[in-house]
Amino acid sequence: MTNPVDPTTRPEPFQDGSLRDTLAWVLHSLDQPAVASGDWIAYEVDAKRGTAVALLTDPTTPLARLRRARILWAALRSEGERAEDRSMGSRLAIAAAAAAYLFHGERISNHDDSALLTALRSAVADDAVPPEVRIMMQMAERKLSSPIG
């Protein structure tokens, strides 16, 4: 998958490199629509990072942005147009909680440990979730499962 925000990895259909950002987002949406919905939210929350993967896997992402993204992804979970969008919204909201816990030591969801572990394991098993995000969630799961948490 290409990163529509990164000009070095996005497709260029014209030899002169005149692909516009909007068209890159459209191509991304067609290629992976559920991930694109998550990326749109990530871009609105943090244009510098631009994608859900970048937002969730960067240890320097501010906690406030992870909180905001989690709220918006939770809204996508309940208000998404398609089942895939709703599922990805759920997965990314849990991923935001995992990133906050892993990188900042903060809990940003109401899940108790057992519920959070169950949600993390379910999201990690979902191949629709980008691999980098699944790896981050596995790290958060290990941290949460350890006796010193």
First vs last C-alpha separation in the chain: 34
The two structure tokens encoding residue 12:
């260029």
Query: What DSSP character marks residue 57?
Result: H
Question: Measured between alpha carbons, how far is 9 from 3 in angstroms, rounded to an integer?
Answer: 6
* Tens of each residue's pLDDT in the chain, 149 residues: 445 555 555 555 555 555 566 556 556 555 666 688 899 899 999 999 989 999 999 999 999 999 999 999 999 998 888 888 899 999 999 999 999 999 999 999 999 999 999 999 999 999 999 999 999 999 999 999 987 75
